């Protein structure tokens, strides 16, 4: 409602810090799961004078249309939005998490169809474990992968494959949470930004 990403304030600041530290003349970002984060972080990049191309994909047409309208209404440049529609896992029958169609595969693999590799990949949508595998292939040598909600145990398989990584507590959305929010950061190579964030409480 406030136009803020669906993240804690601490998590928002972590992403902003990462974006602010990138040195490329044009920053490339891919986001699985578009939303207020798409608008908020691209506006932040503009506010600090960074040139960028932001790519985001979603599986929900209503959400895609909502974010597309915001991009058009505010005449935002440098944002590329894509839709691959499929039902969420709780609406499926016969195996909740299995991939059942072409659009699901297209959603997961979409960054491979784009010509460039990415400085940052933000995983905050469906099929996060599989998106993580794709991210490893399309991230730049010194790029960073961000996995939101990394405190969920079923997302953590495969994280150990990354030689440079850290998990940072993101604080809580609400009192009495069973699991504290965590954000995982990883890179294929030793990354100065991640190393600077290691050990943050």
What average pLDDT is seen over the chain?
A: 88
- As to burial, measured by CB atoms within 10 angstroms (0-12 exposed, 13-18 middle, 19+ buried), residue 183 is buried
pLDDT at 152: 79
pLDDT-wise least confident of 75-89, 105-119, 163-177, 187-201: 163-177
Burial of residue 62 (CB within 10 Å: 0-12, 13-18, 19+) is: exposed
Binned at pLDDT 50, 70 and 90, residue 62 comes out as very high
* pLDDT at res. 159: 86
Cross-strand bridge partners of residue 139:
118
Give the pTM: 0.91
pLDDT of residue 40: 96
Q: Which of 66-75, 108-117, 177-186, 189-198 has the lowest mean pLDDT?
A: 177-186
Q: Tell me the per-residue pLDDT of 120-139, one tens digit each, with 9 for 90 and over.
A: 999 999 999 999 999 999 99
Return the minimum-mean-pLDDT range out of 7-11, 34-38, 88-92: 88-92
Which domains, from first to last, does the chain contain?
9-197 (3.40.50.150)
- pLDDT-wise least confident of 24-33, 90-99, 133-142, 161-170: 90-99
Report how far Cα 193 is from the mean position of its chain's Cα atoms: 17
pLDDT in tens, 138-188: 999 999 999 998 877 777 777 888 999 999 987 655 444 455 788 999 999
At 175 the pLDDT is 46
- At 139 the pLDDT is 97
Residue 85 CA to residue 183 CA, distance in Å, equals: 27
- Distance, CA of 31 to CA of 120 (rounded, Å): 8
């Amino acid at each position: 409602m406030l136009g803020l990403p669906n993240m804690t304030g601490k998590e928002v600041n972590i992403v902003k810090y990462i974006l602010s530290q990138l040195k490329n003349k044009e920053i490339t970002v891919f986001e699985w799961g578009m939303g207020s984060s798409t608008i908020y972080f691209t506006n932040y990049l503009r506010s600090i004078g960074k040139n960028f191309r932001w790519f985001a994909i979603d599986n929900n047409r209503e959400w895609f249309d909502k974010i597309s309208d915001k991009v058009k209404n505010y005449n935002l440049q440098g944002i590329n939005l894509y839709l691959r529609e499929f039902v969420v896992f709780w609406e499926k029958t016969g195996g909740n998490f299995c991939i059942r169609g072409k659009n699901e595969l297209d959603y997961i693999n979409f960054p491979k169809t784009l010509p460039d590799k990415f400085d940052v990949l933000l995983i905050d949508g469906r099929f996060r474990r599989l998106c993580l595998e794709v991210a490893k292939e399309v991230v730049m040598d010194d790029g960073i992968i961000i996995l939101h909600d990394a405190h969920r145990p079923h997302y953590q398989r495969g994280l150990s494959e990354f030689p440079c990584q850290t998990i940072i507590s993101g604080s809580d959305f609400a009192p009495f949470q069973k699991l504290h929010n965590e954000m995982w950061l990883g890179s294929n190579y030793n990354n100065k930004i991640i190393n600077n964030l290691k050990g943050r409480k």
